[in-house]
Structure 1
């Protein structure tokens, strides 16, 4: 009797990576175009060039689909090289942040999801957890470097530092939607560094 060999599943059992990626890209584009409230699985499938069943094989609902994608994007690790000084590190962090918030898709999607988060606890929790974890890690890194260089006293609060960094930029770009002057980032970094030093 010949040994049985396990056959690779075919058809519906195989979730092709290129189709998954096309769906994820379509969700981001659809969120930017119509917002969460008007987003539909049908529109996502149409934009991705796939059948609705391809979406439902991967996610059971619109909410599950959006939460997974938002969580994945928000939790991405950002590279933050050591710039050799606290103002340098803060300037780099702010440059990365302003570039992300100025991106056309992000500038449309983030305010919409935050508004939706006020109505949907699951979206609120996912956004808060993903953003909190990533930002806290970066804040701790910047503060630890500054403490090690002797630029800040031990015990400087990284959460406070993050509030000072993220708040003004988010207010300008995502809430008030004011363009930032060319010298805004270095001036803000210098002011925050001075504030943290006390």
Structure 2
């Protein structure tokens, strides 16, 4: 006896979810957070608005989920066995994230939106910043366990140090990184962290 597969609202088709995700990112890049509408996302994705509401209860939930998925997966880097190797992969992933053709237009808008609406800032902090920092903390704790960093390393300050220079240069100053930027930045960070490498 064969069992009947559920249809309709019971099934969220991955290809539809992917089309919606791409539409959200495109709309955010073109229109910004404030002007993005569920109608425009549905139209761009080629679906009805009900397809969006089956996945997320609101525009804010949809944006948070899509941006979180896009951002957090890009913070996952493999363990190379050395702090410098891990740091280089992390910095490369960070650079690719904040210079991504769409996301480079989305990130400044999300920061501005968070400044205007503290509730939105908290959502982005919990769905993007905290998970990304947890991955960075894992990297630093591995380095401490290997004896490459002092046991009393201030992890909060170290995590700020990992992201701040690149964000300042590429997003705030919009200055080109240059061909050896990541190597120079990694060396500077290793010295600042007191790494034994």
TM-score range normalised by the length of the shorter chain: 0.7 to 0.9
TM-score normalized with structure 2 length? 0.86
Equivalent residue in structure 2 for 1:191, among 188, 193, 197: 188
Q: Which has the larger radius of gyration?
A: 1
Any idea what SS the aligned residue of 1:117 has? helix
Distance 1:179-1:123 versus aligned 2 partners, 3 A rule? same
Unaligned runs of 5+ in 2: none
* Superposition pairs of residues 62-141 of structure 1, within 5 angstroms: 62-76=59-73, 78-84=76-82, 86-141=83-138
TM-score normalized with structure 1 length? 0.86
Deviation at 1:9, TM superposition (A): 4.3
Paired residue total:
193
* Displaced runs of 4 or more, over 4 A: 5-9
Distance 1:15-1:132 versus aligned 2 partners, 3 A rule? closer
Q: What is the alpha-carbon distance in structure 1 between the residues aligned to residue 9 and residue 86 of structure 2?
A: 48
Q: CA RMSD in A?
A: 2.2
Q: What is the alpha-carbon distance in structure 2 between the residues aligned to residue 83 and residue 178 of structure 1?
A: 32
Q: What is the alpha-carbon distance in structure 1 between the residues aligned to residue 11 and residue 192 of structure 2?
A: 55
Unaligned runs of 5+ in 1: none
Q: What is the alpha-carbon distance in structure 2 between the residues aligned to residue 23 and residue 30 of structure 1?
A: 10
Distance 1:75-1:107 versus aligned 2 partners, 3 A rule? same
